[in-house]
């Protein structure tokens, strides 16, 4: 894959008009699949009281801190406008900026690789590790990692394991997930569903060098992980990182984090491999001024990230001697081909939308199947793969459309509007047969037929007095069939005595 595969044609006057693409049919692969309908998955997960308690405490705590930090910024809305404008410009000029980044990165001694999908990215990285990491006494190779959503998306750890390579997560939350043979449930706080006592038990089971008397004090848990990881930092030949941003005009990559593990990964090993989605570019270093204010406040409620690492190619006697970047498509050009959906590629992975989402707070991240949970995952996953992939067509329904995600997004992604558009795509692609296959299809077709004609709506309105009399005053709580899926989680109130149309005619018409 090269930038020639991403053929974007834009009017000269504006970057926000029609975009034509060369390879929009390549779908995303890897950990981007909802294996069961979201409604079923969320119903199962929401039964976990411990999970809901952990999520409520964590998301509310982060959200409170975010609100305080945002309130300190009199120009917060102007920053959001600037972030939105910069990301719109990046998406509109993506091929140009990718070529600029490739030239700058190569000129400074780095190596650029292009990956069409998850399998291609995993194969490239595995080959680089095999070329640069020593074989240990067990006949395998080791690599250390700093938290990367892109590598989780491609399923890199599992692919490396098949090639005899053991990847060690160095981010504390990712390490907890890895040692617990678990799955991440939050973009920023992958182990948000675990409490301190659960983490203590995971460490005792998974660390061969841990103190058997380890307690659940946060400082002691952090110390145990620090000791466990330190010798691996010092002995690793190869590190794999993600990237928060790539700077097109300098070829610079960056990782922002809170623990210092990222700094160790990108400076100590001789070989550094970075996997970055092609949408993560910024045009110039100066654009970081906006995002280094938006990202920490939106993600962790901090004024600045504790550790911000930037590297540009190779430097003599300083840092890695062998630097690679793998630029990942995996459905991003497919999303880019969607005139409205491409806005989802503006996401900077701050997770602010999750922390305010009432659906996410009750169902948790595992219910979404994909590595991208919450409101942004409900649009990003089906855009990368298509609504016809597995049960991804059910993800756009994982929302009450309350709009809290739009208000919280630092780059103003209009998630509610995209959710409704994707619901329409799901109806067209997965439920568009002339003869309904399921009760839900029949119900949706009936509603569409009724609501598409004012006369039909009027006739339905005339039946409301009868429905009002025949329905219990407490409403309907136990309907059969498809209606039971609704009344299983909420009630249907008693219909009104008359429709609004009738009320208006009786009370307001001249």
Q: What per-residue confidence (pLDDT) applies to 214?
A: 95
Averaged confidence pLDDT in the chain: 90
Domain presence at residue 415: yes
Average pLDDT for 112-138 = 96
> 399-419, pLDDT tens digit by residue?
999 999 999 999 999 999 999
Pairing of strands 238-241, 271-277: parallel
Position with higher pLDDT, 297 vs 22: 297
Alpha-carbon distance of 302 to 322, in angstroms, equals 33
- Domains identified in the chain, total number: 3
Range of the domain at 395: 338-431
**Cα(294)–Cα(85) distance, integer angstroms:** 13
Q: How far apart are the first and last CA of the chain?
A: 67
Query: For the chain, percent helix, then strand, then coil, each to nearest 5?
Result: 50, 10, 40
Average pLDDT over residues 50-58: 85
Best CA proximity match to 108, nearest among 328, 329, 321: 321
Instruction: Detail the DSSP E strand segments found in 299-449.
Output: 307-311, 322-328
Residue 394 has what DSSP assignment? G
Residue 64 lies in a domain: no
Query: From CA 157, how far away is CA 460, in angstroms rounded?
Result: 56
CA distances from 352 to 86, 96, 259, 296, 416 (A): 19, 30, 20, 10, 15
In this structure, the answer to whether residues 326 and 343 fall within a common structural domain is: no
> Are 306 and 397 in a shared domain?
no
Chain centre to alpha carbon of residue 196 = 25
Task: Give the pLDDT of residue 483.
Answer: 78
Looking at the structure, do residues 276 and 170 belong to the same domain, yes or no? yes
Closest to 161 measured CA to CA, from 126, 200, 206, 210: 126
Structure-token pair, residue 184: 């991440």
Query: How far apart are alpha carbons 185 and 192 in whole angstroms?
Result: 7
Same domain for 449 and 414: no
| More confident of the two residues 18 and 173 | 173
Separation of CA 114 from chain center: 22
Q: Please check whether residue 383 lies inside any domain of the structure.
A: yes
CATH number, domain with residue 266: 3.40.50.10420
Q: For 161-207, what is each residue's pLDDT tens digit?
A: 999 999 999 999 999 999 999 888 888 888 888 889 999 999 999 99
Q: How confident is the model at residue 454 (pLDDT cuts 50, 70, 90)?
A: confident
Residue whose structure tokens are 């509603």? 447
d(CA 359, CA 43): 11
pLDDT at position 183: 86
Residue 16, pLDDT above cutoff 50: no
Find where tokens 């009630």 sit: 491
Top-confidence residue, 460 or 324: 324
User: Which residue's entry shows tokens 């294996």?
Assistant: 35
Cα separation, 9 vs 23, whole angstroms: 13
Taken in order 110, 3, 328, 242, is the CA torsion positive or negative?
Answer: positive
Mean pLDDT over 76-100 rounds to 96
- Higher pLDDT pick, 8 / 425: 425
Same domain membership, residue 352 and residue 322: no
pLDDT cut 70: percent of the chain above it: 95
Q: Which of 10 and 151 is assigned the larger pLDDT? A: 151
| 57 within a domain of the structure (yes/no) | no
**Cβ–Cβ under 8 Å, residues 420 and 378:** no
- The structure tokens listed for 164 are 């005899």
Which band of pLDDT confidence, cut at 50, 70 and 90, is reported for residue 10? very low
Last residue of a domain, one of 402, 431, 460: 431
Of residues 10 and 22, the one with the higher pLDDT is 22
Residues 230 and 187 both lie in one domain: yes
Same domain, yes or no: 408 and 451? no
Give the H/E segment covering residue 254: strand 252-257
In a domain, 379, yes or no: yes
Dihedral pair phi/psi, residue 391, rounded to 5°: -105, 25
How far is 369 from 35, CA to CA, in rounded Å? 6
Q: Are residue 163 and residue 309 in the same domain, yes or no?
A: yes
What's residue 24's pLDDT? 56
419 and 285 together in one domain: no
According to DSSP, the residues that pair with 255 across neighbouring strands are 309
Tell whether 415 and 459 lie within a shared domain.
Answer: no
At 381, which helix (H) or strand (E)?
A: helix 374-385
Q: Which run of H or E residues covers position 80?
A: helix 76-92
- Assess whether pLDDT exceeds 70 at residue 11: no
Q: Reply yes or no on whether the pLDDT at 54 is more than 90.
A: no
Q: Domain boundary at 263, 296, 330, which? A: 330
Residue identified by tokens 């929302």 is 399
In a domain, 109, yes or no: yes
Whether 197 and 282 map to the same domain: the answer is yes
Tell me the mean pLDDT in the region 338-357. Answer: 94
**Domain co-membership, 226 together with 283:** yes
53 assigned to some structural domain: no
Of 431, 460, 492, the residue at which a domain comes to its end is 431
What does each C-alpha distance from 453 to 14, 457, 498 come to in angstroms? 39, 6, 19
Q: Confirm whether 29 is domain-assigned.
A: no
pTM of the model as a whole: 0.86
């Amino acid at each position: 894959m090269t930038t020639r595969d991403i053929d974007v044609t834009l009017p000269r006057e504006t970057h926000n008009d029609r975009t034509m693409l060369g390879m929009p049919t390549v779908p995303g692969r890897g950990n981007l699949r909802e294996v069961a309908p979201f409604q079923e998955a969320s119903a199962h997960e929401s039964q976990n009281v411990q999970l809901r308690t952990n999520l409520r405490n964590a998301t509310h705590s982060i959200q409170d801190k975010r609100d305080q930090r945002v309130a300190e910024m009199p120009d917060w809305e102007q920053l959001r406008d600037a972030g939105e404008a910069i990301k719109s410009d990046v998406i509109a000029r993506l091929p140009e900026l990718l070529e600029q980044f490739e030239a700058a990165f190569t000129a400074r001694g780095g190596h650029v690789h292009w990956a069409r999908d998850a399998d291609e990215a995993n194969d490239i990285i595995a080959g680089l590790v095999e070329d640069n990491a020593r074989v240990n006494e067990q006949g395998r190779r080791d690599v250390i990692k700093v938290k990367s959503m892109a590598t989780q998306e491609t399923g890199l750890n599992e692919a490396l394991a098949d090639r005899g390579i053991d990847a060690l997560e160095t981010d504390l939350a990712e390490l907890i997930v890895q040692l617990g043979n678990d799955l991440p449930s939050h973009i920023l706080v992958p182990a948000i569903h675990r409490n301190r006592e659960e983490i203590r038990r995971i460490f005792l089971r998974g660390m061969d060098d841990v103190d058997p008397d380890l307690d659940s004090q946060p400082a002691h848990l952090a110390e145990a992980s620090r000791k466990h990881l330190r010798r691996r930092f010092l002995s690793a030949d190869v590190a794999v990182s993600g990237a928060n941003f790539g700077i097109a005009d300098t070829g610079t990559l960056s990782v922002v984090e809170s623990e210092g593990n990222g700094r160790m990964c990108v400076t100590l090993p001789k070989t550094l491999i970075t996997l970055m989605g092609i949408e993560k570019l910024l045009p110039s270093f100066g654009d970081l001024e906006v995002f280094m204010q938006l990202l920490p406040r939106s993600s962790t409620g901090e004024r600045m990230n504790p550790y911000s690492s930037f590297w540009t190619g190779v430097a003599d006697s300083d840092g890695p001697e062998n630097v690679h970047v793998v630029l990942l498509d995996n459905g991003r050009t497919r999303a880019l081909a969607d005139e409205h959906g491409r806005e989802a590629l503006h996401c900077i992975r701050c997770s602010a939308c999750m922390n305010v989402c009432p659906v996410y707070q009750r169902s948790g991240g595992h219910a979404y199947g994909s590595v991208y949970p919450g409101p942004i995952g409900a649009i990003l996953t089906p855009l990368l793969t298509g609504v016809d992939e597995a049960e991804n067509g059910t993800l756009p329904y994982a929302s009450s459309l309350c709009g809290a995600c739009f208000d919280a997004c630092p780059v103003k992604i209009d998630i509610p509007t995209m959710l409704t558009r994707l619901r329409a795509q799901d109806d067209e692609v997965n439920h568009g047969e002339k003869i309904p296959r399921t009760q839900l299809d029949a119900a949706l077709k009936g509603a569409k037929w009724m609501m598409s004609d004012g006369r039909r709506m009027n006739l339905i309105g005339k039946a409301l007095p009868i429905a009002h009399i025949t329905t219990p005053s407490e409403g309907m709580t136990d309907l059969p069939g498809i209606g039971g899926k609704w009344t299983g989680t909420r009630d249907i109130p008693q219909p009104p005595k008359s429709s609004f149309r009738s009320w208006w005619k009786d009370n307001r018409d001249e």
